[in-house]
Amino acid sequence: MAVSTDVAYGPLGHNGGDFWSFRPRNKISQIVISIGGPGNNKNNPIGLTFSTTNNDGSKDTLSIGGGGSDTAVVRKETIDIDGTDEYLTEISGTFGPLDRSYNVLRSIKFTTNAREFGTYGPNVGTPFNFQAQNDNKIVGFFGRAGFYIDAIGTYNAPDY
């Protein structure tokens, strides 16, 4: 859950699924994006795994979305956020229909103070953007998800 100094933006998306939250004490150090779909690539649910390394060397990890009837992973991309000087500053993407019945996360892009990663998934649907303001960093994520990522938002703070 959020720390009292965090500013929460969102979530944007839709109201399906269950609430989830990933707000680690340390910096998010890795994000794995899984893009799935059947052989005809008609569907492509996105799954996200967020990870951080704690001071004692243990890891905290949360995986959301990427399930449903299309669980075969077609592509997996790993973002490593390097060292203490690189941090998340922005996420953007789109929410749109999947199989004409679900409005879910269809694409996502992550931006740090040093690099851009993505866009992952088809850039279709309604766009969204969360950018850290006032020298803040994106320090965590929250939203709603079941088989698919239904909504996403960010926790922002000046430090971890």
Question: Mean pLDDT throughout 139-157?
Answer: 94
Predicted confidence (pLDDT) at residue 76 exceeds the cutoff of 90: no
Task: Report the DSSP beta bridge partners of residue 49.
Answer: 32, 63
DSSP string for the chain: ---TT-EEEEEEE-S-SEEEEE--SS-EEEEEEEEE--TT-----EEEEEEEE-TTS-EEEEEEE--TT---EEEEEEEE--TTT--EEEEEEEEEEETTTEEEEEEEEEEESS-EEEEES---SEEEEEE--TT-EEEEEEEEESSSEEEEEEEEES--
Could you tell me if 18 and 146 are in contact, meaning their C-beta atoms sit under 8 angstroms apart? yes
**Phi and psi, residue 103, nearest 5°:** -100, 110
Q: Which is more confident, 118 or 72?
A: 118
Count CB neighbours of 5 within 10 A: 12
Range name among 35-39, 40-44, 88-92, 124-128 with the lowest pLDDT average:
40-44
Nearest by Cα to 110 from 92, 86, 94, 126: 92
Predicted confidence (pLDDT) at residue 151 exceeds the cutoff of 90: yes
